[in-house]
Chains A and B, each alone.
Chain A
Amino acid sequence: GAVVSQHPSWVICKSGTSVKIECRSLDFQATTMFWYRQFPKQSLMLMATSNEGSKATYEQGVEKDKFLINHASLTLSTLTVTSAHPEDSSFYICSARVGHSGNTIYFGEGSWLTVV
């Protein structure tokens, strides 16, 4: 299957600082990427849809000024958690759709964020 790479795989930061997570599609171009958050023993909750060359579409209840998403190229989307707080600690995972009309979605490895 297609490869989606996410970096870093884990990060610890201090409260009030910002953290950037990268999501790359390695062997295909992704016009659309998705960012999810997953708390322990819970399901994947969609945060936003990242669209190449345009603004991200955020789900209800997700603060767009706190979770900045940039999708500057067809192979890279970034999520920046600004002014992080301990309650932002979670598993963040991206996914990308293969092709313009295909439905198959592949996930990155995920990033564990711990805010102390």
Chain B
Amino acid sequence: GENVEQHPSTLSVQEGDSAVIKCTYSDSASNYFPWYKQELGKRPQLIIDIRSNVGEKKDQRIAVTLNKTAKHFSLHITETQPEDSAVYFCAASLGGTASKLTFGTGTRLQVTL
């Protein structure tokens, strides 16, 4: 089955700096890669996703890049703000009607003033 690795496990940046979180996946057939933000005790919120036919996607301060050859994808957050502090999970899926998400281990991002 699919295996998703995520690094780093914790990340501390100063407000205004950029944050980068990286994930690798094992199944070359995976074609959908969402990123979720989870605050303590709350549900994961989809923040951005990318499909395998696209190499990069951007939404305001958030961007995701995908390298299918290397089987890795990354989340980039620019101009970080304290409210960006949370746990971020990457995931991979084969797509299709019943395909499940395999999650990475999570990255705890702390944005300090």
Contacts and interface: CB of A to CB of B under 8 A. Distances in A.
To the question of whether A and B form a pair in one complex, the answer is yes
Given A32-B97, A32-B98, A49-B98, A105 B46 contact: yes
Interface string B52-63: 000000000000
Interface in A77-116: 91, 93, 95, 97, 100-101, 103-110, 112
A43 B89 contact: yes
A1 interface: yes
Interface string B2-33: 00000000000000000000000000000010
Interface string B26-49: 000000101010000111111001
B103 A49 contact: no
B49 A101 contact: no
A46 B102 contact: yes
Interface of B: 32, 34, 36, 41-46, 49, 51, 89, 93, 95-106
